[in-house]
Structure 1
Amino acid sequence: MTSTTLYRKLVDSHTVSVIDESNVLLFCDLHLMNEYTSPQAFTGLHDQGRGVPYPGQNVAVVSHIIPTHPDAVRVIQDPASALQAANLKRNCTRHGIPLFDTNDKHQGIEHVVSPEHGMIRPGMVVICGDSHTTTYGALGALGFGIGTSEVEHVLATQTLVYRLAKDMRIRVEGQLPTGVTAKDLVLMIIGRIGAQGARGYVVELCGSAIDALSIEARFTLCNMMVEAGARGALIAPDEKASDYVLARAADIRGALRDQALAHWKTLSSDADASFDVEHRFDASEVSPHVTWGTSPDQVVPITGHVPRPDELTEPSQRRSVQQALRYTRLEPGTALQGVPVQHVFIGSCTNGRIEDLRAVAEVVRGRRVAPGVRAMVVPGSGAVQAQAEAEGLADVLVQAGFEWRKPGCSMCLAMNDDVLSEGTRCASTTNRNFEGRQGRGAITHLMSPAMAAAAAVTGVICDVRLMETHHV
């Protein structure tokens, strides 16, 4: 019997038919939709007179375009965005597709909402018109982003013509030091292997350091592996994953629960399974990381310095660094510690969960946001918002001078009214620091929630480990 990786087990179990040696027709257990990648797909569907045969295996969330102001009722003021939301609601109503609409109390970011409601289970194939669908690998589900034409195909058939990926394994052994998080780990990995280092691969993450992570930390890790070019990220489901799902999936009870647990235990790579590429890292060597440039792989430890282009021998790399430095307005060789920030954003599908907000509150408790800094916290969902308020975290943040907002994608990307002005430097817990990502000419430094919190109260990028009351 051939030894198989977890990735191939998931693909094989969902293959409807083999098209050729590189492509299969893949059945999709769950299709998530948002307001900006679905309109053309529905139009194409309707033009051909097609329906949606499996509406219950499709779920829609309005998340990218909604305002996060703490108003009682949210109103999308931008006409184009309001039309997108209205079209999504009309299409979902027409086809009987569940929708988390703008003012739904459970509304939030699709990649936060779906797992917290028990929609994601080990062994599933989950797709969405959003690249950070890789998040669901934290629960042993194969998640990946698709394009608009593929959204139409899935709506019509619940299947997808899927090009097979190669297998990569990243093993991380040891223990993360105090004050170091999954965000730091994934930034370090991306920095080491590069923004294209996992292109064409589905990455399986394993090792004692991965085993020690909470499920929410694993979400962060899998979410950002796409920034290394990965087509998917997987962590074999363990007892933590099973407990997380069972606590949220009310339908898995009795005999079904026993069957599910038995199946989930089979979801791991065989001991002698072969991977096309393997990497190994030592968790004890990881320190807080911060991006300096305009790609997530342009990152250094907080104790590091911005690179000097004249020390690089590869012309294309030198040009890339020069362009990034021009955009971020940093001088070659600059130490990241002490760089002033004018804005702090905490939230997104990468770091907008309850554990992230607890870490922020721990850092800022008893402190105040530094003069000249605007700091925002946007919970990832209505459930996260309610829990943070119930635990008193929101009060701690507000007392420290943070804006406490309603859930949504917000300032992760400039698709709503939370947009940075040109030249504003932001400490951000998001996943991308591309040029213009948070606003035209805005400068983004990616970091962990604890590091962003430290930047908020000091006014500069700094090492959270040096703050006396930090106990994360």
Structure 2
Amino acid sequence: MGKTLFDKIWDAHVVSTKEGFPDILYIDTHFIHEVTSPQAFNGLRQRGIPVFRPKQTVATADHNVPTLHQDQPIKEELSRLQVEMLTKNCAEFGIELYGLGHPYQGIVHVIGPELGITRPGCTYVCGDSHTSTHGAFGAIAFGIGTSQVEQVMATQCLLQQRPKRMKIEVNGQLQKGVGAKDIILYIISQISAAGGTGYFVEYAGDTIRSLSMEGRMTICNMSIEMGARGGLIAPDQITFDYVEGREFAPKGDAWDKALAYWKTLFSDDDAVFDKVYSFRAEDIAPMITYGTNPGMGIGVDEKIPDAGQFSDQEQLSYKKALQYMGLQDDTPIEGHPIDYVFIGSCTNSRIEDLRQVAEFIKGKKKADDVTVWVVPGSKQVEQQAIKEGLDKVFEAAGFGLREPGCSACLGMNEDKIPAGKYCISTSNRNFEGRQGPNSRTFLASPLMAAAAAVTGKVTDIRELI
């Protein structure tokens, strides 16, 4: 029987296995940031042991950093303390840090790929659930808890139960204005926010193969939002072309050797998955969420579902979500006014996302009563945007281009959406208070967010392009 791509990579990284126990899995690269690492460093310090392989640990500051005036001290006390602790810990344990002011600083799941650290066939972990982003390269990547962060620091290994395998195929031609974010929001709406629980997902099909690496990262990024352990896509020429020549990518003979191995990374024709889903690209409209989990999504031209279609038990949570959002069931979402637009996060803050938004808004102006934040995912994305003149396009349209960080994705820094206000966001979570206490979030693609910024309301992007 053939092997899935997931099993090929997993098996190559098992250090030891014993029936009835978790596998000991070797981790190629450990990404860390300021939020989930302090306790792990303290654990090592208390036990008097070093970071086992500091050269395989990559550190950056992203969650708590401000996205304006990064050359000045951080105002929020907790944020400042966490960033200072990361700086101190990395210096003490010999880990290179891409902190504020470093040309490689940025959101951890943006800088790994753009620096050539993320590669096919490897294992990656981070104390952050959206580590699944790196699976777009044909890698096993997943988030871990703080105690596991310490475990990897100490041993470069993890105790892990092998998850079940799921394949999600998408085939066909996407409609105009529909992209990777719409694909993943559609999938989650179809299988629910818990539909992938216990599984590692492989995305396949000609629609997935047609996506750029940026699009594939968006897909894999939100695997966790369907409850999956992670997601991955088999590498191909698009993958190889993206990685080649990047700062830390293999060079010369090492590149040739790596490439030969990477070309073996695919699921065999007779590989067996525990569950398979198939979707038609033509069925996917520009998507938007209406509730308080990413599974509560609809096409922008659809009505919010009627509460009557849910069971009595489901209706309780459904009505609670709509009450929080200030919405009514069985009503259109298109045309709903919005107050803020956030274009950024580890889901949609790459140069391709910014280019797409800039192309759409060129010659347009934002609505007067809408505040727009465009937050690049890294210093390299920021500098590339400036080099291409995208900052001028944003400025002319009334969009504010800020400095790199997680920003308004999670309400953990200065960029918070005020209570009661509506934000259409390109991030990955719309939980209650996710973008700030009592804030209300609609998740959508960069194009849908840009359309709302210009019109001041939820708008079908297909009507404007």
State the one-letter code of the partner of 1:171: E
Structure 1: distance between partners of 2:138 and 2:245: 16
Listed as ranges, the matches of 1:226-241 within 5 Å are: 226-241=224-239
**TM-score, normalised with respect to structure 1:** 0.97
1:163 to 161, 165, 184: 161
State the one-letter code of the partner of 1:15: V
Aligned to 2:11: 12
Listed as ranges, the matches of 1:309-324 within 5 Å are: 309=307, 311-324=308-321
Aligned to 2:199: 201
Aligned to 2:436: 439
**Can you give the 5+ residue segments of structure 1 that lack an aligned partner in the other structure?**
none
Structure 1: distance between partners of 2:391 and 2:166: 40
1:293 maps onto 2:298 in alignment: no
Query: Is contact 1:173–1:281 with CA below 8 Å preserved after alignment?
Result: yes
2:82 to 67, 81, 84: 84
Q: Percent identity?
A: 48
Structure 2: distance between partners of 1:251 and 1:179: 33
Aligned to 1:464: 461
Structure 1: distance between partners of 2:249 and 2:133: 23
Structure 1: distance between partners of 2:158 and 2:138: 20
1:370 maps onto 2:367 in alignment: yes
- Quote how far apart the aligned CAs of 1:305 are: 1.1
Task: Output one character per residue of 1:24-57: Cα deviation in whole Å (capped at 9) or x when no partner.
Answer: 0000000000101000101111101111121000
1:233 match: secondary structure: strand
State the one-letter code of the partner of 2:330: G
2:339 to 342, 355, 361: 342
1:295 match: secondary structure: coil
Aligned to 1:408: 405
1:351 match: secondary structure: coil
- Quote how far apart the aligned CAs of 1:3 are: 1.3
Aligned to 2:324: 327
Q: How many residues align?
A: 465
Structure 2: distance between partners of 1:39 and 1:426: 32
Which sits farther off after the overlay, 99-108 or 278-287? 99-108
**Can you give the 5+ residue segments of structure 2 that lack an aligned partner in the other structure?**
none
1:340 match: secondary structure: coil
Aligned to 1:214: 212
Query: Is contact 1:67–1:75 with CA below 8 Å preserved after alignment?
Result: no
**TM-score, normalised with respect to structure 2:** 0.98
1:26 match: secondary structure: strand
Aligned to 1:54: 53
Aligned to 1:454: 451
Structure 1: distance between partners of 2:248 and 2:51: 26
Task: Output one character per residue of 1:246-272: Cα deviation in whole Å (capped at 9) or x when no partner.
Answer: 131555222212211110011111110
Structure 2: distance between partners of 1:74 and 1:133: 29
- Quote how far apart the aligned CAs of 1:212 are: 0.3
Aligned to 1:423: 420
Listed as ranges, the matches of 1:118-133 within 5 Å are: 118-133=116-131
Structure 2: distance between partners of 1:217 and 1:63: 21
1:252 to 247, 250, 262: 250
State the one-letter code of the partner of 2:394: L
Query: Is contact 1:26–1:159 with CA below 8 Å preserved after alignment?
Result: yes
Structure 2: distance between partners of 1:33 and 1:190: 28
Structure 1: distance between partners of 2:12 and 2:416: 43
1:380 maps onto 2:387 in alignment: no
Structure 1 segments, 4+ long, off by >2 Å, are 19-22
State the one-letter code of the partner of 2:231: A
Aligned to 1:29: 28
1:270 maps onto 2:282 in alignment: no
Query: Is contact 1:307–1:321 with CA below 8 Å preserved after alignment?
Result: no
Listed as ranges, the matches of 1:85-100 within 5 Å are: 85-100=83-98
1:356 maps onto 2:360 in alignment: no
Q: Judging changes above 3 Å, is the alpha-carbon distance between structure 1 residues 19 and 76 closer, same or farther for their aligned structure 2 residues?
A: farther
- Quote how far apart the aligned CAs of 1:344 are: 0.5
Query: Is contact 2:15–2:23 with CA below 8 Å preserved after alignment?
Result: yes
CA root-mean-square deviation: 1.1
